[in-house]
């Protein structure tokens, strides 16, 4: 693909904008202890949230990462904090789907907990004094087709009834109060959701886990785990550690260490660009209520203004293979100007990507596999949910195994692709097909 160089600012960097304020690093790094009560693999939101809670409960806990702290998705994401909109296929109760009374009860519990993840993040930010530009400005979900818009009334009623989301449905004629674009066929406003600076939130959690007494080990890749619950030997590139319990919190970066989990996850690259500072009036006009925007196609985009409200952050999955930051930047810029033609001259200062983990049932999970605890499968929305599930895994350990969570112990389904072991060879085909279906839906339904 030929790339128009004028799209890029002279100071363009192919790395996360967020790292300008908080780069993954080694702050608080310690040597790997020879023994610990609980060892956590992964220093993203899930690992830190679990480690923080365990350390606050006086448990001896070590959190290890193969890279610098925060190298994974937790310092790269869009910072959109949803209050519980996605509850997975099979339980969404969408058009044509009839749920039994039992399924409905599960659906409602999943939704309530998903809303609770927002409260947990807000509590952590306040209790640990995390300066991460958090704002509860709400979310606007744009309808990609008139058909999608028709489904919003029932969705909004469900959210309001179960989670008191106070959501409202906005027709196409009214949506200019939400967004300076006519791209969508109306939308839904969900006030109970927020946005934050993802890398600063991560740094705040890291500092809090350190203050609470967790041992933090960077550049310590776990290469093997042997033994059983109560007596594990964890082999790492920096020596061995014996641990009574192990939590695996590796989400989209789950590798050969845990093949049983890996074959149940589909790692997908998500990409983001940041624009240069826009003229003040233009910047203020784009998303006047300051919300985070997402949308309803299968291959969706998500966007928001960055802290300071002068730059547009625009994310999506324009390619399902790693084609390089410059190519995805150009594709995202095109998607951005499809929605906001007024941004055609806005140059890109940063472009980056990271791995998210999809599950076959589109639900996040926490559970146990071969005696190991795990929480993973964010399906693209893990800022709140994986912070929450990390906390829940910690509570399960503190409570000696008992846990009242609808996300616990649901079977994490295998990906039903022949010989699948974690390398998603089918993604370009499935992704291309989804994109084609989205195009057809947009042109021919409604
Ligand atoms: C571009 C992008 C945009 C996103 N936007 C949003 C958004 O707007 N809203 C939202 O809710 N979610 C979003 N997400 C998803 C969200 O970022 C993730 O769900 C969340 O950060 C996952 O946190 P985690 O702690 O589970 O995993 P991660 O933060 O990915 O951390 C996993 C860690 O495990 C480590 N690891 C892996 N294997 C080993 C090993 N063998 N030994 C030691 N360490 C290991 C990795 O180095 C990594 O640091 C986005 C993700 C991406 C990539």
List pLDDT tens digits, range 153-201: 999 999 999 999 999 999 999 999 999 999 999 999 999 999 999 999 9
- For 291-295, what is the mean pLDDT? 96
383 CB near ligand 1 (under 6 Å): yes
User: What residues contact residue 83 under an 8 Å CB cut-off, 6+ apart?
Assistant: 114, 115, 117, 118, 139, 163, 165, 190, 192, 193, 194, 384
- Band of residue 90 on the pLDDT scale cut at 50, 70, 90: low
Q: What is the pLDDT of residue 96?
A: 59
pLDDT digits (tens, 9 = 90+) for 92-125: 555 556 788 888 888 899 999 999 999 999 999 9
Closest to 72 (Cα-Cα) out of 324, 306, 251, 246: 251
For 368-427, the pLDDT digits (tens) are 999 999 999 988 889 999 999 999 999 999 999 899 899 997 899 999 888 899 998 888
The response to whether residue 351 sits with its C-beta less than 6 Å from ligand 1 reads no
E strand spans, 152-220: 168-170, 187-190, 194-195, 215-217
- Going by alpha carbons, the residue nearest to atom 48 of ligand 1 is 72
Residue 99 CA to ligand 1 center (angstroms) comes to: 32
Q: What is the pLDDT of residue 82?
A: 84
Tell me the CATH number at 17: 3.50.50.60
Q: Provide the pLDDT confidence category of residue 320 given band limits of 50, 70 and 90.
A: confident
**Domain tally for the chain?**
1
Say if ligand 1 is within 6 A of residue 138 CB: no
Per-residue pLDDT reduced to its tens digit, 329-378: 999 999 999 999 999 999 999 999 999 999 999 999 999 999 999 999 98
The pLDDT value given to residue 324: 85
Percentage of the chain with pLDDT > 70?
A: 96
Confidence of residue 1 (pLDDT cuts 50, 70, 90): confident
Backbone angle region of 409, left / alpha / beta, with phi > 0 → left and psi within -120 to 50 → alpha: left
Most informative mutation of 51, 223, 250, 293 for ligand 1 (most atoms within 8 A of CB): 250
Q: What percent of the chain has pLDDT over 90?
A: 81
Tell me which of 58 and 404 has the higher pLDDT: 58
Closest CA to 335 of 356, 314, 350, 354: 314
Average pLDDT on 234-262 reads 97
Ligand 1 geometric centre to CA of 250 (Å):
7
Integer CA distances (angstroms), 299 to 98, 237, 430, 435, in order: 25, 38, 11, 6
Q: How confident is the model at residue 40, as a pLDDT?
A: 98
Q: Would you say the CB of residue 378 lies under 6 angstroms from ligand 1?
A: yes
Its domain, for residue 152, covers 5-444
Question: Rounded to two decimals, what is the model's pTM?
Answer: 0.96
């Amino acid at each position: 693909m030929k790339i128009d160089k004028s799209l890029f600012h002279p100071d363009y960097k192919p790395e996360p904008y967020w790292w300008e304020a908080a780069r993954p690093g080694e702050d608080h790094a310690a040597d790997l202890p020879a023994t610990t009560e609980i060892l956590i693999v992964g220093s993203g939101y899930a690992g830190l949230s679990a480690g923080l809670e365990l350390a606050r409960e006086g448990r001896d806990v070590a959190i290890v990462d193969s890279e610098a702290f925060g190298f994974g998705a937790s310092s790269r994401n869009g910072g959109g904090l949803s209050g519980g909109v996605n509850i997975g296929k099979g339980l969404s109760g969408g058009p044509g789907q009839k749920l039994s009374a039992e399924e409905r009860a599960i659906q409602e519990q999943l939704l309530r907990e998903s809303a609770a993840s927002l409260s947990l993040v807000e509590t952590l930010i306040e209790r640990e004094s995390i300066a991460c530009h958090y704002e509860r400005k709400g979310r606007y979900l744009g309808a990609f087709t008139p058909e999608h818009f028709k489904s919003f009334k029932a969705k909004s009623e469900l959210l309001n009834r179960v989670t008191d989301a106070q959501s409202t449905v906005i027709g196409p004629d009214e949506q200019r109060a939400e967004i300076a674009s006519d791209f969508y066929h109306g939308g839904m406003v969900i006030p109970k959701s927020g946005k934050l600076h993802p890398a600063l939130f991560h740094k705040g959690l890291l500092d809090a886990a350190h203050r609470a007494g967790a041992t933090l080990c960077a550049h310590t890749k776990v290469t093997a785990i042997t033994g059983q619950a109560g007596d594990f030997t964890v082999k790492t590139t920096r020596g061995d550690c014996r641990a009574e319990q192990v939590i695996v919190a590796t989400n989209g970066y789950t590798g050969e260490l845990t093949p049983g989990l890996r074959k149940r996850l589909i790692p997908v690259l998500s990409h983001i660009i940041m624009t240069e500072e826009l003229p003040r009036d233009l910047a203020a006009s784009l998303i006047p209520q300051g919300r985070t925007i997402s949308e309803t196609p299968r291959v969706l985009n998500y966007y928001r203004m960055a802290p300071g409200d002068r730059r547009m952050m625009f994310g999506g999955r324009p390619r399902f293979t790693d084609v390089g930051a410059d190519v995805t930047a150009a594709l995202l810029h095109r998607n951005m100007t499809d929605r906001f033609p007024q941004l055609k001259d806005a140059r890109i200062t940063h472009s980056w990507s990271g791995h998210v983990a999809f599950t076959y049932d589109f639900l996040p999970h926490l559970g146990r596999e071969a005696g190991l605890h795990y929480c993973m499968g964010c399906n693209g929305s893990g800022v709140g949910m994986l912070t929450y599930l990390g906390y829940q895994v910690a509570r399960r350990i503190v409570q000696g195994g008992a846990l009242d969570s609808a996300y616990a112990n649901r079977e994490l389904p295998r990906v039903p692709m022949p010989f699948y072991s974690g390398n998603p060879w089918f993604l370009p085909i499935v992704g291309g097909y989804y994109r084609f279906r989205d195009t057809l839906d947009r042109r021919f339904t409604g």
